A and B are shown apart, each in its own frame.
Chain A
Amino acid sequence: MFLKDYIKDVYGAVKSLLTGMRLTGYYFTHPKEIITQQYPDNRDTLKMAERFRGEVVMLHDENNEHACTGCSACELACPNGTIKIINKFDITPEGKKKKAIDTFVYHLELCTMCNLCVMACPTDAIKMAQTFEHSVFDRNKLTKKLNHDGSKLREGVE
């Protein structure tokens, strides 16, 4: 009985080791499985993963209109004070005051790419972009204004 278990042990060990070696042998003989990205060389053809989060951007359409109402839900959602929203009040033709966004300040150097602001946004005005080459020589350049100059709120977005 002991001998039977012993032989079974040896057989199982050899079999499991050979299974492992078959997998690494398969990888060795199939170079097309290699997943290394040769980054600076393949910059033009580089495909980022869909879930990759590089920085927060605000979406603008062709009329330079965005969907940000200035509700500052993103500012409240941000865990480390990355976003600061400065509002202004426009006068509508009817003579009423209407809240609008003046500057959407985004501190890239503080951002942890947690995606909470994007999830908090009620009008889907902001999203995560896939750019990742963020290095600059002056850290003031990391503080960005997300709304374009002269842009305004898209009609119908409340």
Chain B
Amino acid sequence: MFSFHGITSSVQTWLNNTFNPTITVMIESVIVILLAIALFAALGLVLVIMERRVAAFMQIRLGPNRVGPWGLLQSTADTLKLIMKEGLTPDGADKFLFNLAPFIVMIVAMLILAPIGFAKDFQIWDINIGVLYLSAISSISVIGILMAGWASNNKYSLMGAMRSGAQIVSYELSAGLSVLSIVVLTGSLKLSDIVASQENGWWIFKGHIPAIIAFVIFIIAATAETNRAPFDLAEAESELTAGFHTEYSGMKFALFFLAEYINIFIVCAIGATLFFGGWMPFHVGSWEGFNHIMDYIPSSVWFFGKTFFLIFVIMWFRWTFPRLRIDQLLNLEWKYLLPISMFNLLLMTIIAIMGWHF
């Protein structure tokens, strides 16, 4: 049966037998970097075309269907166009920060990739404070956005960046609390332990109603943290032209655009890991035959299936809901999501202490 673990371990034994340990680690790092970049490029292309087609179908349109079979090469053609365009730096901009900002946003997106388990025993860095690492790193991206908005020397960019800052800082709270409720159940911050604890059922089923509430709050906060509609105030087209990336063009704009989609993928991957069992197949209690059939589907397929399902849900939000006003946005967070998630965390703790979950 196909598995990533087999490939990685055979590559490692071959490298260990051929080179000395230092060079092995260096070569492995290079391989990991290349794989991460390749994954980013592939994800960017796939998610952009997926977004446009999903949006079209939800709005009773067809969407791009001319370039390649079913329009699948549309995003490739767009990327080629963006590569060939000039990356303009405005005259009044702070040149150093302006050019640095897109890379910070991209690097943050790359860093979050580290502790995510893509398949069984296929993880870049199985760190023992995985969940803490994720929530710490993901808040750095707001610095890149603020940097872009400030350095552009443009009122729309600055307003978009400030809104984005307010939004990410507030929604991080409820995202953190809903993640904590799963940590309470698992008793570990390590992502591989969290996945392993869901072997006999995913937390969203095992954790009763509090887990479902935590999931709903998580997906709302994740949508807000990635600056997507209905929380896309940071780049509200009708008010701020394009928000913090108004002044960017060419490949620098493409990096922002790519980082947005990568962030969606990552928050959905975290959601899938915490609530839907990561790469764990769907198991039902004591149905031995059923569980064995589910085991035959490779773990990477499970992981990407769940992640893409969550991405679809977030796209569904985007093309259904109207944009919130800034005061409504902060009301939603501070008056509704935060109290509810605190109460929910309390409930979850009681459940975990009393051992009422399965």
Task: Tell me the chain A residues, 1-44 only, with Cβ under 8 Å from chain B.
Answer: 9-10, 17, 20-21, 23-25, 27-28, 31, 33-36, 38
B316 interface residue per 8 A CB criterion: yes
Of the 9-residue stretches B52-60, B200-208, B298-306, which lies at the interface with chain A? Answer: B52-60
Q: Contact flags (1/0) for B33-76 with A, using CB distance below 8 Å? A: 00000000000000000000010011111100000000000000
- The size bracket of the interface on B is 10 to 19
Return the chain B residue nearest A29 by Cβ: B57
Return the chain A residue nearest B66 by Cβ: A38
Q: Contact flags (1/0) for B285-327 with A, using CB distance below 8 Å? A: 0000000000000000000000000000000110111000000
B340 touches A24 (CB 8 A): no
B336 interface residue per 8 A CB criterion: yes
Our pick among A10, A28, A36, A38 for the contact of B336 (Cβ within 8 Å) is A10
Which residues in B have their C-beta under 8 angstroms from that of A36?
60-62
Task: Tell me the chain B residues, 315-346 only, with Cβ under 8 Å from chain A.
Answer: 316-317, 319-321, 336, 340
B54 touches A28 (CB 8 A): yes
A10 touches B340 (CB 8 A): yes
User: How many angstroms between the C-alpha atoms of A10 and B340 in the bound complex?
Assistant: 10
B62 touches A34 (CB 8 A): yes
- In the complex with contacts A10-B336, A10-B340, A27-B59 CB distance below 8 A: yes
Our pick among A10, A17, A24 for the contact of B319 (Cβ within 8 Å) is A24
Return the chain B residue nearest A14 by Cβ: B216
CB distance from B90 to the nearest CB of A (A): 38
Q: Could you say which of A24, A27, A36 has the most chain B C-beta atoms within 10 Å of its C-beta?
A: A24
Which residues in A have their C-beta under 8 angstroms from that of B340?
10
B316 touches A25 (CB 8 A): yes
- In the complex with contacts A17-B321, A24-B320, A34-B61 CB distance below 8 A: yes
B60 touches A21 (CB 8 A): no
User: How many angstroms between the C-alpha atoms of A24 and B230 in the bound complex?
Assistant: 15
Our pick among B60, B319, B336 for the contact of A35 (Cβ within 8 Å) is B60
CB distance from B274 to the nearest CB of A (A): 21
B61 touches A31 (CB 8 A): no
Which residues in B have their C-beta under 8 angstroms from that of A24?
58, 316, 319-320
Return the chain B residue nearest A17 by Cβ: B321
CB distance from A88 to the nearest CB of B (A): 53
B62 touches A38 (CB 8 A): yes
Which residues in A have their C-beta under 8 angstroms from that of B317?
21
CB distance from A40 to the nearest CB of B (A): 11
CB distance from A66 to the nearest CB of B (A): 42
B62 touches A27 (CB 8 A): no
A33 touches B60 (CB 8 A): yes
Which residues in B have their C-beta under 8 angstroms from that of A33?
60
Which residues in B have their C-beta under 8 angstroms from that of A34?
57, 60-62
User: How many angstroms between the C-alpha atoms of A36 and B60 in the bound complex?
Assistant: 7
Return the chain A residue nearest B335 by Cβ: A6
Further contacts, 19 of them, CB under 8 A, given A21-B316, A36-B61: A10-B336, A10-B340, A17-B321, A20-B320, A20-B321, A23-B320, A24-B319, A24-B320, A27-B57, A27-B59, A27-B60, A28-B57, A33-B60, A34-B57, A34-B60, A35-B60, A35-B61, A36-B62, A38-B62
A to B CB contacts below 8 Å, 20 in the list: A9-B336, A10-B340, A17-B321, A20-B321, A21-B316, A24-B319, A24-B320, A25-B316, A27-B57, A27-B58, A28-B54, A28-B57, A28-B58, A33-B60, A34-B60, A34-B62, A35-B61, A36-B60, A36-B62, A38-B62
Closest 10 CB pairs of A and B: A36-B62, A24-B58, A24-B320, A20-B320, A28-B57, A36-B61, A28-B58, A21-B320, A35-B60, A33-B60
